[in-house]
Structure 1
Amino acid sequence: MSDPRTSHYVSSWHDEDALALSDIPVARERLIAGGIAAVAMETAVREAVEYAKDRSAFGQRLIDMQNT
């Protein structure tokens, strides 16, 4: 009888090719999650730069007060 906690794995642990194929959905999910996170970070930086260009403080734009 198979263990339900490991039912997503191939029943034969000796068949390395079959085991690797069973891990593909997990790798795809991680790749998608990583891509979503990268796009979110890119968007956040773009929004922050636009905000700094538009926002003014002490009589000048924030982007003009940046040293680097």
Structure 2
Amino acid sequence: MAFNPIVDADKCEGCEECVDVCPVEVFELQDGKSVPVNAEECLGCESCIEVCEPNAIVIEET
């Protein structure tokens, strides 16, 4: 099973919490917003969801 993290850029505040907490470095800040640049590495642990105050991240199972 694979996981696909999706960031709602309209909700993302660019706090970098998801960048810091992700154990496999899925996220990177680009133009002040989080972008899942290594989405294929996502483990589905949902650590990013837990630290995202504006609820800008969802993870889909693929």
Q: TM-score range by the shorter chain?
A: under 0.3
**Structure with higher strand content:** 2
Q: If you compute each CA radius of gyration, which structure gives the higher value, 1 or 2?
A: 1
Comparing both structures, which one devotes a greater share of its residues to helix? Answer: 1
Report the TM-score when normalising by structure 2. Answer: 0.23
> Please, what TM-score do these two structures have when normalized by structure 1?
0.22
